[in-house]
Amino acid sequence: AQSVTQLDSHVSVSEGTPVLLRCNYSSSYSPSLFWYVQHPNKGLQLLLKYTSAATLVKGINGFEAEFKKSETSFHLTKPSAHMSDAAEYFCVVRYRRVQFYFGTGTSLTVIP
């Protein structure tokens, strides 16, 4: 069975401080993992993806994520938060080529 758990529904950080959004997955197969961001009234935008290449994946806007098989985790990080990073973030596992399982989302607030 496939599932995704985002451990925090809300995260608040101060501008300029590090961001950590946590994600654990469960998959019977070697997973493909993604992080998507959703800004208000906007479509989902792909931040980065892991597809069994390098375990440390760099994405857009300074985000990166590390695939840790032993911990079944795929946490999203950024060294320094910017106000424009405030959004909803979704961790996603891909199953059977075409099905994506989304986590319930983490709302990131950036405090000036």
Pairing type for strands 10-14 and 106-111 reads: parallel
State in angstroms the smallest separation of the CB of 83 from other proteins: 22
State in angstroms the smallest separation of the CB of 95 from other proteins: 9
Contact 88, 111 (CB under 8 A): no
- List interacting residues with other proteins (CB under 8 A): 4, 6, 36, 41-46, 90, 96-105
Please state, in angstroms and rounded to a whole number, the distance separating the CA atoms of residues 50 and 65: 8
Q: What is the largest CA-CA distance in the chain?
A: 42
Please state, in angstroms and rounded to a whole number, the distance separating the CA atoms of residues 99 and 3: 12
State in angstroms the smallest separation of the CB of 108 from other proteins: 15
CB nearer to other proteins: give 41 or 70: 41
CB nearer to other proteins: give 32 or 77: 32
CB nearer to other proteins: give 70 or 99: 99
